[in-house]
Structure 1
């Protein structure tokens, strides 16, 4: 587990700038809006983003919690947090806080109102314990949303699925023996099941031509 964390830190530290460009590419904001909307945030709420990366979701989250709310970003990689800190400083957000830590064991005390994780759970060998910990930090009525990518089942998307498979191999940290896309999808499905098992009200939204899935749940 420690070796996995070090590999992730090294990989994303080297590629923080490129990752930030990809995370803010045209059209991506609409995905982030959908994920933030599913959290049902209100002014004054506290929301934690697990694996916040360069902070590309912060604008959507802060817009919903307002200046009286709080956004906490957790990430294990210094390079990512450095970029996130620059984004926070440029915007002048004094209620957005960054924490370096492993999202599988986040150094965050609950209860909080919402937890968001985008394209994160697929990096964990077994995401269930992490997702269950995230849900435990939620107060009654708190919401969780997991945004992830996978192959599309639409017939017209078959050629694009080949490109997605190649992207997974290039974009994931590792030593050249990166788990295939099937492993990614299995991990994402495990995380979604953890949400369904621990949240009585839950659901799943598919969009982005079938390549994107948003699992969400509310803790009772």
Structure 2
């Protein structure tokens, strides 16, 4: 059975498109992330990670969040991370090897195929639009977390209606990175109903958002 996104594209087609886009973007990706670094920091802080916990970095890319996550769980904790892009993950592997982190574990896989050795205490979704729009990806990732696990999400969305003319630009900005770049009205609506304590804050004058909740039992 072929799984299709609400946009009508199969997960496999979206994955192939995304991998191709990141093949071209991987080398210079880190240099583009400065403007969203404060958002990354705020989103990680919402997880309220404690020493000894396990956290999953969803779609970790080049591994820019790994150091911050590891700082919070300490040597006793565990950081799991995955990405489907071999070009992005290659840089994450280099980052881990250079730092000598023995409790950071990387997986090259789509979200739908992820298997972890134990449930995690928290999940970070930092600009993972394609993942959030796939029901099968959301299902698999939440199954990797224990009940009550913290979830923090940052992403892009359309501007409010009074800035609607700018949404053409938002769409094409998203198009450069995602396999299925549409559905930006409420990109969180596949995962939000699965979480307790859902809270969302707009960022970037309404073009972005940070959200959090906890995995429902």
Normalised by the shorter chain, which TM-score bucket? 0.7 to 0.9
- Give the TM-score taking structure 1 as reference length: 0.81
Cα distance change, pair 15–94 in 1 and its aligned pair in 2 (3 A): same
Residues 144 and 217 in structure 1, CA contact (< 8 A), matched pair in contact too:
yes
Matches within 5 A, 1:129-208: 129-153=136-160, 155=162, 161-173=167-179, 179=181, 183-186=182-185, 188-191=187-190, 194-195=191-192, 197-208=193-204
Q: Is the 8 A contact 2:202 2:209 kept in 1?
A: yes
Counterpart residue number, 2:32: 22
Consecutive unaligned residues in structure 1, runs of 5 or more: none
**Length, aligned pairs only:** 206
Unaligned runs of 5+ in 2: 1-10
**TM-fit CA distance, 1:42:** 0.4
CA contact (8 A) 1:145 1:214 kept: yes
Alignment partner of 2:94 out of 86, 91, 95: 86
Aligned Cα root-mean-square deviation (Å): 2.4
Residue 209 of structure 1 is aligned with which of 184, 190, 205? 205
* Dislocated runs of 4+, deviation >4 Å: 157-162
Deviations 1:81-139 (A, max 9, x none): 1111122223332221110111133222441101111111x225942332232222221
Contact 1:67-1:95 within 8 A present in 2 as well: yes
What pairs with 1:72-83 in structure 2 (closer than 5 Å)? 72-83=80-91
